[in-house]
């Protein structure tokens, strides 16, 4: 969880705005942020809306150095898809975060009144905010949304799921990503939170997809691999003999992580891929999303 978010993130966000907006707009946003703790709920809602309009809809387009600084301050946070308006709104909200409980209630109210772009921005900013019961409830609402952009604002490029989600919620998030055709690699901590229940469910998912003659996301195998024993090893056979080098690479990575001794003899048939894994030239990050 972020520590003292105003002091940690306020200067960072303000700096991003200063290099992208005119001085008058930046000063207005910073002054409004300073005044927010004295505002009532309606005034906060209006301030957030005005800040978004003043900042505009342009992409934030952070440089590599700026992205690196964001990761340094908040490991796992990758604000690569943020807009300038997202930054302005987050900066307005930061002064309210001293009290996690009251902030969570305010955040929930704001989300209920927000338009789509604002709601996406609020969810993208979750790594900067303290978690409370109300904030957690609102995260659950976002995960249940049928709008992929809202789901991805929570699930992608954020350390919040890996840090705070129960195993049940984590597994539900991964499965929903597959159902709505969202990518798995941007989920921070995907490898860290692999678990046996998720793997078993994903084996069933593979069966269903194959029965319907539909493709299987290659990163599904990544989530199953550490728990692949016995008959589950046979699920990788189609990739093992595939003419596609990427699919053979997935098969090799899968077998290399399997705890079943039988996987070693199967892996012997992929000597080139096995050597690449051993030299660290091949890893799950090499597989396209």
pLDDT tens per residue across span 15-74: 999 999 999 999 999 999 999 999 999 999 999 999 999 999 999 999 999 999 999 999
What number is the average pLDDT over the span 78-88?
A: 98
Given pLDDT bands bounded at 50, 70 and 90, which one contains residue 6? low
Banded pLDDT at 250 (limits 50, 70, 90) = very high
Give the pLDDT score at 3: 47
Chain centroid to Cα 215, Å, comes to 23
Task: Sort 253 into a burial class: Cβ within 10 Å, 0-12 / 13-18 / 19+.
Answer: buried
Q: CA torsion sign, 89 to 116 to 188 to 56? A: negative
Q: Over 70: is that where the pLDDT of 158 sits?
A: yes
Residue 289's pLDDT band (cuts 50, 70, 90): confident
Sign, CA dihedral 224-229-235-238, equals positive
Average pLDDT rounded to a whole number, residues 77-82? 97
Write down the pLDDT at residue 179. 96
Which pLDDT tens digit goes with each residue over 181-231? 999 999 999 999 999 999 999 999 999 999 999 999 999 999 999 999 999
- At 168 the pLDDT is 98
Which structure tokens are listed for 68?
């690196």
The predicted pLDDT at position 2 comes to 47
**Closest CA relative to residue 84, chosen from 169, 151, 25:** 25
State the CB neighbour count (10 A cutoff) for residue 23. 8
Give the confidence band of 5 by pLDDT, cuts at 50, 70, 90: low
pLDDT of 115 reads 96
Where do the domains of the chain lie? 1-190, 194-289
Say if CB 63 and CB 87 are below 8 A apart. no
* Mean confidence (pLDDT) of the chain: 96
What are the tokens at 43?
């005034």
Model confidence at 8, pLDDT cuts 50, 70, 90, reads confident
The pLDDT of residue 258: 98
What percent of the chain has a predicted confidence (pLDDT) above 70? 98
| Contact (Cβ atoms closer than 8 angstroms) between residue 253 and residue 287 | yes
């Amino acid at each position: 969880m972020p520590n003292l978010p105003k002091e940690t993130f306020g200067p960072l966000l303000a700096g991003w705005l200063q290099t992208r907006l005119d001085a008058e707009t930046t000063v207005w946003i910073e002054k409004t942020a300073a005044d927010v703790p004295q505002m009532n709920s309606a005034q906060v809602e209006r301030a957030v809306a005005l800040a978004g309009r003043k900042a505009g809809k342009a992409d934030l387009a952070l440089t590599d150095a700026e992205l690196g600084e964001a990761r340094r301050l908040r490991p796992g946070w990758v604000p690569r898809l943020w807009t300038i308006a997202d930054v302005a709104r987050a900066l307005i909200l930061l002064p309210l975060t001293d009290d996690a409980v009251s902030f969570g209630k305010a955040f929930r109210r704001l989300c209920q009144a927000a338009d789509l772009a604002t709601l996406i921005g609020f969810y993208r900013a979750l790594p900067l905010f303290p978690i409370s019961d109300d904030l957690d409830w609102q995260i659950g609402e976002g995960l249940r949304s049928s709008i992929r952009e809202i789901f991805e604002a929570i699930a992608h490029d954020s350390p919040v799921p890996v840090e705070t989600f129960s195993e049940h919620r984590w597994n539900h998030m991964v499965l929903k990503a597959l159902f709505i055709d969202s990518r798995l690699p941007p989920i921070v901590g995907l490898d860290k939170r692999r678990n046996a229940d998720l793997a078993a469910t994903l084996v069933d998912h593979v069966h269903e997809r194959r029965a319907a003659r539909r493709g299987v996301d290659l990163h599904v195998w990544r989530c199953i691999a550490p728990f692949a024993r016995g008959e589950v090893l046979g699920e990788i056979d189609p990739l093992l003999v595939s003419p596609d080098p990427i699919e053979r690479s997935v098969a090799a990575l899968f077998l290399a992580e399997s705890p079943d001794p039988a996987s070693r003899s199967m892996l012997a048939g992929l000597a080139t891929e096995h050597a690449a894994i051993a030299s660290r030239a091949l890893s799950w990050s090499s597989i396209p999303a």
